[in-house]
Each structure stands twice: as C-alpha cells, then as structure tokens.
Amino acid sequence: MATAHLAYVLLFLVTAGLLFRLRRLLPAPANPTAAHCPHPNPVLGNTVEFIRNRRRFFDWYAMLLRDSPPGPACPADVEHLLRGSFGNYVRGPGFRVAMSELIGDGLFAADGRLWKLQRKVASHAFSSRALRRFSDDVLAVHLRRRLIPFLDAAAASGDAVDLQDALRRFAFDAICHVAFGVEAEASTAAADTRKREALFAAFDAAVEISFRRALTPPTVVRKVTRLLNVGASRRLRDAVDVFDDYAMSVVESKESQSRMRREEDGDPDLLSRFMAAMDDDDDDGEQLGAMFPTPQAKRRLLRDVVVGFVLAGKDTTSSALTWLFWLLAANPRCERRVRDELDGDAKGMQQHYLHAAIAESMRLYPPVPFNGRVAVADDVLPCGAAVRAGWFANYSAYAMGRMEKIWGENCLDFSPERWLRDRGDGEFVGVEAARYPVFHLGPRVCLGKEMAYVQMKTVAAAVLRRFSVEVMAPAADMGSPPAYEMTATMKMKGGLWVRLRKRE
C-alpha cells in the first residue's frame, strides 16, 4: 500500500540528478484534475508519473490508493498504525533531524519518554476552563481588534482581499497568544505590529524549508550549504534566529515574574505551564526537568515546545476555514443553510449545520493531508500489506476522504447533511477516527481539536453574520477545484480572493 508507493517516491529522490534533466522534458499536466495512471517501470518505478503529478501529488496518491489491491487506505490499517501498534510506528530520526532547527526536542518531533512527559504537561492546557478562556478572551479580542476591522475596511473600499492571508494572520495571533501569553493590548502598537510581521514571515520561511527537508533525504549539497551557511540553510538559520530571539525574550521575561504571580493568573499560557511544571515537584514535570538539567537546556526545551504549538495552530484552522468559504460559495444551498442557522441562533455554539459544514470541508480538504511514521520492526497490517523495519508507513486523510467505499457514491460532493441525524435535519454525529483521521487518532491524537472547532466556528460565524462573501478567484465551481500548494498544510494556491459586502 502506501509504503510501496513511497518507495517509488524515494527511488525518485535517489535518481534525482537524472530526473532533474528529465523534468524539463515533461511538463506538468495542463489539466490539473486529469488523472495519470501509474505504469511502474522496473527501474524507475512510478518516478516519471511522480514528476508529472508533482503539483497534484495528493490527488495522484489518492488515485494510486484507490486502484491498488488489497484494502487501500483501509481504516483498519490506520487504526493499527496509529493506535493498535502505536509503539511500532514512530516519528523516526529522519523527521527529527530535518525538523531539528524548527522544533528541536518539542512535543511534535519527540518519541518515547520525552514525548510522553511533554504530552502529559501539555494536555492540562486543553481543559474546559482553558477552552472557555480561549473563546472569551483570545478569540473575541483578536476578532474585535484585528480581523473584523480589517474586513470592515475591505467591505467599505470594495476592494478584493485575500481571505486566506487574513485568516492565517488571525490564527497566528491567536496561537501566539495561547502559547506565549502575548497580551492583545500590546499587539496594536506599531513596534509590536512590525515584530509580529517579522515573526510571521520567519515562521513561514522556516516551515517551508524544514518540511521540504523532511520529505527528501539529506544530500551532500545540503550539508555543504549548511556548513557554508548559504542558500536555504542560511534562510532557515535567519528565520530561526528571529523566532528564537522572540521566544527566548518571552521565556526570560516570564522567568523574572514571581511564581506567586503565575499562580494568581489562574489559567496560565502554555509557556508558563511548562515552566511551572519543570520547577515543581510534580512527578511528570520533575522527570521532564531532570532530562534538561541546566537553565540553558530548560530554556531551549521551552522554546521548542511553544514553537511547536505555534506550528500546530498557525495554518491548520486557517486552511480549514479557507476551503470552507470556497466550498460554501460553490454550494449556495449549503451557504443558505449555514446563514439560516446563524440568523436563528444569536449566540450559542450549538450550530450543528455549521459544525457539519466544517467537518465536511475538512473531509475533502484536510488541513494535514498526508502524514507518516517509520516502522521499528517488521509487521503485517490488518488489510494484508507487509511492512519491513525502517520502512515509511503513511496515511493520507485527503485520499481517505475521497474514497467511494468509505463515503459512498457522492464522496466528491460537498454534503454537510451526511454528518447530521435524521436525513440532515438533526444534530451532528461524528464517525470513527479511523475513517476520518483528520485529527489523527490514538495516543498522539490532536490535543487542539476542540479548540480548533471553537475557533473555526467562532470565526466562520462572525464573518458570515456580518458579511456576504463573493468569491472572485479561484472560481467557485465544484467542477474545477482550486489548486493547492505542496506544503505540510493544505494551502489554497494563490490565496482566496473575495469581495465582501456588509449585511443589513
């Protein structure tokens, strides 16, 4: 299954020199939705097809899985990989090395005991009290101060704006607030705005370079550029310096606050929570602290933890919302139902149709479309595929969301009703995570899922209540879906250009 295809991908990487030349001779498909069937070559495997489909990799991958026997993208395999045989499938050293400058030893890159201890400390940050604080303080403040005024101005001018960009900036501010406890009041000052812009750009650059590295084996060129500090290595180091300076200055200023003060705060930000846990006698925090015994090492870990969280929250919710707005524009009947629900529900979060529309939008366009692990020992997956120690074992939420045998004949339609009881009129009903692994599952399931839903519903409701959204580009037509960027998260290529009109 996935591993076999990934082996072809790796084959491509090994023969990169030859194929670089070949690439010039093989233009990408003119029609981005046209399928290219694999005709595996005994030497090159699917390499040529890989190159032809490189700009629509997730669709190509979905097609390969659909056509491969036995049990492609089978939910039982995903369950086995991420829960049943959790100990046998790890992040792996390759991912850790590629991501080391970005997230170091933080939760997202860690395996084993280091991961477990961090996960326990972090999980306290997602209590229901923390969620309430998130929606009452963080979201409300950033909506009122930044997003809504920006959209109001766009509506008043009549100019088209890139909604994806606005949503990404909003998500970045919100997650920085949660991770570092950055005060919203300070963020309107010109100096803070400049700092925020620099941070935003640095994060983008560092994520792009690190993920590219995670997908390709380390080359001599990379080692040399790193040594000489030129090219992408230089850009990565410069970007990392920007947020290192920022994270370290926040860590230092928090260290100078008294412990008493932190306790008075009641519901601390993530950084303060990790700082307190590592200083406390609490078992998990103490063990974690013991793994980073010097003040410098502790600070470094704190920086790694918060940077990882910013990474988790920055592009995921904004990606989901971008596709949601596009899909609603392409399906006016569904948009009308969302608006009717919102107009009839002044305040509450019981918006079942909106919730279903978001879940449905992430089925077709999951913010994390592709994810992988490395096998520690040989294994056989429930649906029959053999896996050898050291192989990649991947799953694609994008491919699974488009499988007829999982979602039925209308799997490519946008139909929020499929998530609602009583033929689409009742409350939201979820499905097993193995069929819909958008938030992962098992011990490493997304900790921010509830928070993400609260954020997505709050933002979507705030925008749709206040504005009518006319999509200018890419055209809102289910027959010609927008292109996406080949990044870690599902970004709409070129952005989502809309014209807003204030509703009465």
Interaction site with ligand HEM (CB under 6 A): 107-108, 119, 122, 175, 178, 309, 312-313, 316-317, 320, 367-368, 371, 438-440, 444, 446-448, 451-452
Q: How far is the CB of 117 from ligand HEM (least distance, A)?
A: 11
- In angstroms, give the least distance from the CB of 122 to ligand HEM: 6
Q: Which of 174, 254, 200, 187 is nearest to 448 (CA)?
A: 174
Q: Map residue 321 onto helix, strand or coil.
A: helix
CB of 17 to ligand HEM, least distance (A): 31
* Sequence-ordered list of residues with C-beta below 8 angstroms from that of 113, at least 6 positions apart, any chain: 287, 291
Q: Which is nearer to ligand HEM, 107 or 496 (CB)?
A: 107
Rounded least distance, CB 223 to ligand HEM, Å: 26
Nearer to ligand HEM, 242 or 454 (CB): 454
Measured from each CB, the residue nearest to ligand HEM is 448
Query: Using the 8-state DSSP alphabet, how is residue 368 labeled?
Result: S
State whether residue 467 is helix, strand or coil: strand
CA quadruple 380, 385, 388, 391: dihedral sign: negative
Q: Which residues lie across from 469 on neighbouring strands? A: 500
- Per-residue burial over 242-269, b if 16 or more Cβ lie within 10 Å, else e, is bbbebbeebbeebeeeeeeebeeeeebb
Rounded to the nearest 10°, the torsion over CA 216, 110, 131, 125 is -150
Smallest gap from Cβ 215 to ligand HEM, in A, equals 14
Using DSSP's 3-state secondary structure scheme, residue 386 falls into strand
CB 28 → ligand HEM: shortest distance, Å?
Answer: 27
The residue (of 19 and 305) whose beta carbon lies closer to ligand HEM is 305
The answer to whether the CB of 500 falls within 8 A of the CB of 464 is no
> Is the Cβ of residue 80 or residue 440 nearer to ligand HEM in the bound state?
440
Cβ closest to ligand HEM, residue 23 vs residue 435:
435
State the nearest-atom distance from the C-beta of 189 to ligand HEM, in Å: 25
Omega within 30 of 0 (cis) for the link into 268: no
Which of 289, 313 has the CB closer to ligand HEM?
313
**CB-CB neighbours of 181 under 10 Å:** 19
Give the integer Cα–Cα distance in Å for 45 and 11.
Answer: 7
Nearest approach in angstroms of CB 316 to ligand HEM is 3
CB nearer ligand HEM, residue 107 or residue 476: 107
Please report, for residues 114, 117, 288, the alpha-carbon distance to residue 280 in angstroms, rounded to integers and kept in the order given: 17, 14, 10
Q: Which residue has the tokens 């999951």?
A: 366
Q: Strands 161-162 and 497-502: what pairing? A: antiparallel
Residue whose CB is less far from ligand HEM, 177 or 262? 177
Residue 446 labeled ligand binder: yes
Please state the residue numbers annotated as binding site: 446
Please state the residue numbers annotated as binding site for heme: 446
